[in-house]
Structure 1
Amino acid sequence: MVVSDGTDVQDRYGEDPIDEAAAGWVARLSSSDATESDRAAFEAWLAADPAHAEAYAEMDAVWRRLGHLPVSRTRRMPKGPACLAAAAVLGAVLATQFGLADWLRADLWSGVGAIEHAILADGSRIDLNTGTALVLHFSDTERRVELLRGEALFDVAPDPARPFVVDAAGVSARAVGTVFFVRADGAAKPVGVAEGRVDVTASGRHLRVAAGEAIRRQDGGAPTVVKDDVNRAVAWRDGHLIFSGERLSDVLAELERYRRGRIVLLDARLGDRRVTGSFDPRNTDDALDAIAATFALRVTRLTPLVVLIGPS
């Protein structure tokens, strides 16, 4: 599977089922819980078509070059945008592979780029942001939600006899009747409150968060309570992504949550530029074009999965 730096890159690294299957096998066989049954199935897949072996060798080589597996052989790698395309396809597929267990466990979920809404039996409302999965554990004494991935906004129906608790990525948020969001993706602000109060436990600390406040996590530091425009932070519920002076690198990372694949900023120095604007999460291509026009940047779409942002 030879990839050039020419115009055939988009065709070769679109949503090719052989590439996606090959990336899935790289993910599975590199896992510590890969079984002999997995290896036998892989060998059968490999023997079914010569293109399978070629695709697997390409994805395996990219993953080794990225440092996720030890390099056991020397192999010529594709250069430039083609290598970025291969790496992005592999990364996107691996994310799906490793997240499969979450989707299978979930009681409620939303796809990438989708925003879903649900009313629970107790009258509480949950808005699920892009790529979110959660499990409900309701009993006579407690309403507990396990946020497996993504972000959700909770509008909790009051029930003093059954507190509402959300657990996500080392953070536990407890409320009786309130409106708050929780993120499970390692965000700097994993919890924010729009109405009422929430008791949060994070990194061994117990914090009371009121309306208009959020929890901020910093590398190496203890979580703290800070003032925050929570209504702006959850504007995605109404189909808006609102930024006010955020770094371009952070804005691109946020837009990436709403699309399949990767947005690659070619010059890290551009990431410090500040972005202010409102964008539609259902059309991130328009958002990227608007940002590029504002800062005189070039948007290069290699495939549906890979977008490069660089100087004009």
Structure 2
Amino acid sequence: MTFTNDDKSKKRLRHEADAWVRLLASGRATDEDARALQRWRAQGPMHRAAFEDAKRLWRDFGPAGERLIAQAAANAARPTGPRMNRRAFLGGMAAAASVAGVALLAEHPLLGGWTPISEWGADYRTATGEQRTVRLREDVVLAMNTQTSIEVQRQDGRIDGMTLLAGEAAIDAMTATGGLFRISSGAGRITAELPARLEVRRVGERTCVTCLRGRVAVQLGDQQRTLAARYQVDYGEDGLQAVRAIEPEQVSAWRDGVIVFRNTPLPDAISEINRYRRGRVMLMDKALEGRSVSGRFPITRMDLAITQIQQAFSARVTTLPGDIVLLG
């Protein structure tokens, strides 16, 4: 059997693409790794196709990966013997992620180990579990929740707005004497009439806008809603939704260092836990998807929420290297 140069090239690209996916699945990729990956993919359509094939392979690996999960966990916990090399460790972790049904996408970090490409232009950013307060100008204070990226907007050298690239932010401009503060999030445009206090949350392609004081206009295409205090609206691919009343204490609980669940569907609660906790909690039992959870938890102790969920539903918890928790 003979191999052409084209066959050898495809084989080499498959090996390289597989190595990239394993690195992403490990949760240890850095921003520099992400930039290197994009340079690798930009070399041509064969590189991009090889990477897509590698993602599908690991995503669809299925139950057969359980053996690799057990092996990776055993090797990580082994007190003596030869140290597990990087290639073997990344391979085991990639299998763990694929069994949980997680899509390995280059544009989105799997375990919070590196910043998505879409957020590289951020002026301000918070890491997983981190909160930060920034004074954008003398009359506008910005509070940033976990996993948040902000790009400021300027006009004539003065900050007059911002773009929420991801995460959750509170804007307090109650000392302002007038004017507007504009926010972009996804395909929507948000305009606050100052003085005002508002919060904007963007997770994926969905944005939620909450008005706490003042008046806020939200526009998506030719649709528009105006919010008064204690009202919010959200938008996404399904358009701009109806305005609804809210309880500020629950919506703004993150500013006090807690998250509040009130009959929150379990999958939504786990998604929220994953925003504050490094690693990944994965719901494995579909029978639990219809359950809901209530409680108030410090954002610095998300494992308390996992313990309550475990006890409330008698769920089995399996802990894997890399702060991965399989629930159910």
Which residue in 1 is equivalent to 2:187?
170
Which string of whole-angstrom CA distances, capped at 9 and with x for unpartnered residues, describes residues 248-307 of structure 1?
111111111112332211122202212110011112122101221122112211122421
Unpaired segments ≥5 residues, structure 2: 1-22, 70-93
Q: How many equivalent pairs are there?
A: 270
Which residue in 1 is equivalent to 2:38?
28
- Cα gap change, 1:135 to 1:113, in 2 (>3 Å): same
1:284 lines up with 2:302 in the alignment: yes
1:146 lines up with 2:172 in the alignment: no
Structure 1 segments, 4+ long, off by >3 Å, are 12-17, 23-31, 59-65, 75-78, 86-94, 96-104, 157-162, 186-189, 216-222
Q: How far apart in 2 are the matches of 1:305 and 1:170?
A: 34
- State which drifts further: 278-287 or 260-269: 260-269
Which string of whole-angstrom CA distances, capped at 9 and with x for unpartnered residues, describes residues 94-150 of structure 1?
624884445542221111111111122223111111111111113358711111111
Show the 5 A alignment for 1:170-209.
170-175=187-192, 176-186=194-204, 190-209=208-227
- Cα gap change, 1:111 to 1:92, in 2 (>3 Å): farther
Q: How far apart in 2 are the matches of 1:271 and 1:16?
A: 25
Question: 3-state DSSP class of the match of 1:174?
Answer: strand
Q: How far apart in 1 are the matches of 2:65 and 2:150?
A: 40
Which string of whole-angstrom CA distances, capped at 9 and with x for unpartnered residues, describes residues 140-161 of structure 1?
5871111111110111245465
Match for residue 277 of structure 2 among 259, 263, 271: 259
- Shift of residue 198 of structure 1? 0.6
Letter in 1 for 2:38: R
Question: 3-state DSSP class of the match of 2:276?
Answer: coil
Q: How far apart in 1 are the matches of 2:141 and 2:24?
A: 40
Match for residue 57 of structure 2 among 51, 64, 82: 64
Unpaired segments ≥5 residues, structure 1: 1-11, 40-55, 68-74
Show the 5 A alignment for 1:71-90.
78-80=64-66, 82=69, 85-87=96-98
1:112 lines up with 2:128 in the alignment: yes
Match for residue 303 of structure 1 among 301, 316, 321: 321
Which residue in 1 is equivalent to 2:13?
none
Q: How far apart in 1 are the matches of 2:320 and 2:24?
A: 8
- Shift of residue 228 of structure 1? 1.5
Which string of whole-angstrom CA distances, capped at 9 and with x for unpartnered residues, describes residues 202-256 of structure 1?
2431111111111034764542111122331121111110111111111111111
The percent of aligned pairs where both chains have the same amino acid is 25
Q: How far apart in 1 are the matches of 2:180 and 2:288?
A: 46
Letter in 2 for 1:126: L
Q: How far apart in 2 are the matches of 1:219 and 1:135?
A: 23
- Cα gap change, 1:135 to 1:218, in 2 (>3 Å): closer
- Cα gap change, 1:94 to 1:146, in 2 (>3 Å): closer
TM-score by length of 1: 0.72
Q: How far apart in 2 are the matches of 1:154 and 1:25?
A: 31
Which residue in 1 is equivalent to 2:139?
123
Match for residue 259 of structure 2 among 219, 241, 264: 241
Q: How far apart in 2 are the matches of 1:233 and 1:164?
A: 21
**Structure ranking higher on relative contact order (CA contacts 8 Å, 6+ apart):** 1
Which string of whole-angstrom CA distances, capped at 9 and with x for unpartnered residues, describes residues 145-200 of structure 1?
11111110111245465410111112221112211111222476611112222111
Q: How far apart in 2 are the matches of 1:105 and 1:26?
A: 17
Q: Is this contact kept in 2: 1:147–1:166, CA < 8 A? A: yes
Q: How far apart in 2 are the matches of 1:30 and 1:272?
A: 42
- Cα gap change, 1:188 to 1:100, in 2 (>3 Å): closer
- Cα gap change, 1:171 to 1:203, in 2 (>3 Å): same
Question: 3-state DSSP class of the match of 1:112?
Answer: coil
Q: How far apart in 1 are the matches of 2:27 and 2:216?
A: 46
- Shift of residue 76 of structure 1? 10
Question: 3-state DSSP class of the match of 1:105?
Answer: coil
